[in-house]
Each structure stands twice: as C-alpha cells, then as structure tokens.
Amino acid sequence: MARILWLSGEYLLPADSGIYRYSLDMLNALREMGHEAEAIGRRRAADDTAPAADGWTLLPYRNPPMWKKMLHVHPVKVVEMWDAEYADLVATKVASFSPDIVLFDHLRVGAALDVLGGQIPSIYLSQNDETRVKEKMVPAASGIRKQALKIDLKKIERFEDRLLRECEGVSAISEADIETFKQRGTTIPIVHTLPSYRGTRRPERTITSATPRRIAMISTLYWGAKIDNMVMALRGLKPAIDAGVEIVVFTGGYQPPEEIAAQYPSVKFEGYVEDFDAALADCRVGVVYEPVGGGFKMKTLDFIFHRVPLVTGHTSAASLPLTPGQSVEQVRNETELGSIAMELIDDIDRLNGLQNAAFSICRDLFTSESARDLSNLVEAITSLPADT
C-alpha cells in the first residue's frame, strides 16, 4: 500500500455537491483499501474556522480579483486555488510525510508539478476533460465574457496537456473523457474511476396517483455553467410549468439569480433540505439536462437509488449502464424535454417501470470497488524502480 499526498482545491467537507462527493468518496475508498493518505485543501469561506477532519491540512480561503485571474499565465480555475502559500505547504508536507505518490484532485492543483520537480510520481484525478468543457461554454456566452472564456480556454488546454504529458497516470470519470485524452496524444496509463455512491439506496418504492405531480432537479448553483444549464432545463420544462406541474430545484443552499426566480415564480428553489430522502420520495420525475459540461453527473445516482424515474439530456448520462426508453428517458433538446416530461408525468406504469429497471441495473454498482483500478494504478506506479 502507498503513502498518498492528496491535493484538493477546496476542502471536501461538507460534501454538498457532486464535485466534492466524487472526490471524497474516492479518497475514502483508497483509504479503505489500505492506502495511507494525507490531504490538503482550501477553506471555502473567509469566516470558516471549523477544525479540519483528521488527515487534512487546510489553507485559508482565497478569492483573487478577476483581473488578477485573467492576467495570470495559469487558467482561472488554477489561480483561484494555487499560490505561493499552497506551494510552500506542499513542499513542507512532502518533507514531513514522505509520500510515495501525489494525487492531483482536479486540474486546479496541477501547478504542484513545479514543486515536485519530477522527484515524486503523480496522478491527475480529472472530473472532466476540462478543455472540452470550456469549449462548450464559449458559444453560450456573449460580449466580454465570451472573450474572457476564449482566453481561458487556451490556458486550460495548455495546462491540461502538461498534466497529460508529465503525470505518471490519469483517472477519468467517463469513457468519453478517456477517448478525448487519448486523442490529445497522451500515452500515460488512464483508468476509468466511477463514483462510489454512499447515499441512500431505497430498497423499494411504488409511484401512485397520490404521489405529487412534481419534477425535481438538483443543481448547486455555484458557477455560471450550472446556472446556464438550469435555465435551459426550465425553458424546456415550460409546457409542464404552464400545465401546473410542480417544479422543484434543490440548490444545495445556493440561490438563483433574482431575474431567474422572477421569471419562474411557480418554481420552488429549495436550499438546504433537512431530509433529502423524504424530499425525493415526493417526486415523480428527476431531470438532469446539462448540455454545458461533461463528466459523470452524481445527481443521476441520487435519482436512481432513491427510485425517481430519470430524464436526462443525451450527454448527461455519461457512463451510466442504462438503456434509453427502458431504464432512462433521454432527450436531445429543450423541446424534447418538455414533451417527454408531459408524456411521463401521469403515466404511472411507465414511471414505475423506469425506476425499477434503473435501480435493478445499478443495484450492485457504484461501490467502493469503483476505485479499485485507481488503487491498482497507484500500486503499480509506486512499485516501479526509482529510476524508471
């Protein structure tokens, strides 16, 4: 087993969004498999003084001005997390902990390559092909934001290509990302690491006519792409909204922009939910429609394991072993989203067929064993002779 230094952008606790949940579950799975791990991350708020969990060292919250982020040679995502203080802490941890390997949780901490200087092997734990995600964001933007995205795209592509070239391995969250990484010329080993879901797995559920006519979305609105996706989904769901179907968006504590809330006054934007299991039990349909962005959508597992019938965009179900029309409904655009939602909402037999099929297929998947190939890659890299 290996001694792992795990570098995160932000502290993963509380794991209240997909990006934190995926990373934390992976870290915990590696620990359960016998690896020893020390982790570094940034606090998420300037006033956060809560003690860190065991095995974590926390840096202060960082929020550089946009002009500084845009002028830096690194991508915006990197500048938001990385500075001399982070670099110094990595150097200190390397000296005191003597890790066998360093894992970069997300592109945001990839600048640690400069600290390691090729002396310690590393693995890039990607949650997306970040270059491809940024490419998808550019067309939806306008004005100065569009120009800023274009500049940042060039930085991200250069930065991510370096990770794909200089790390000893890569973990990808979807098979699509593996293919695009290979197309970009990387020759280092890549493993496919699906999430190890640790939420509720509801053993049974039957949707009836008494179940509220409610459609649910899960969207933690902490960055522009998330808001853009939510707006596109709400546009698509307008026929259902106009027909009186209840729409609820679980936002994880974030608030939507005021103009969006005003545009959709009947939509319920729920922040922190005390009993998430009960909230999903009162929904007939779960929607994951996110044209902007890639990777695996953790929220799909929330719906599947809570037995909520799932409607996704055709790019929003990456790596799910589901069959369109049998265990999931997939749509290609906003118009299809609206029509499928209206077809489904009162078709009780179809709703139960979808949720039962999806749960049955995924029942024994997405466990800690999802990280087994990553664990094996860590062992293979750390067992190589030092001069290899």
| Residue-level pLDDT at 284 | 98
- Band of pLDDT at residue 294, cut at 50, 70 and 90: low
| Residue-level pLDDT at 133 | 85
pLDDT at 322 over 70: yes
pLDDT at 140 over 90: no
- What is the rounded radius of gyration, in angstroms, for the C-alpha atoms of the chain? 21
DSSP-assigned letter for residue 16: -
Strands (E), 266-367: 268-270, 285-288, 310-313, 329-331
- Band of pLDDT at residue 110, cut at 50, 70 and 90: very high
- Band of pLDDT at residue 387, cut at 50, 70 and 90: low
- More confident position, 128 or 75: 75
What b/e string do you get for 129-158 counting C-beta neighbours within 10 Å, with b at 16 or more?
Answer: bbbbbbeebbebbeeeeeebbeebbebbbe
Tell me: cis bond preceding 212? Omega within 30 of 0 counts: no
Q: What is the residue-averaged pLDDT of the chain?
A: 93
Q: Determine if the pTM surpasses 0.95.
A: no
**Spatial CA neighbour of 311 closest among 280, 275, 345:** 345
| Residue-level pLDDT at 101 | 98
Residues recorded for the chain: 388
pLDDT at 177 over 80: yes
- Band of pLDDT at residue 83, cut at 50, 70 and 90: very high
CATH superfamily label, 214-362 = Glycogen Phosphorylase B; (3.40.50.2000)
- Band of pLDDT at residue 17, cut at 50, 70 and 90: confident
Give CATH for domain 3-196+367-382. 3.40.50.2000
Number of H helices, E strands in the chain: 16, 13
Rounded average pLDDT over 9-19: 90
Rounded average pLDDT over 321-348: 96
Residue 388 burial (CB count, 10 A): 8
Is residue 99 within 8 Å of residue 4, measured between CB atoms? yes
- Band of pLDDT at residue 221, cut at 50, 70 and 90: confident
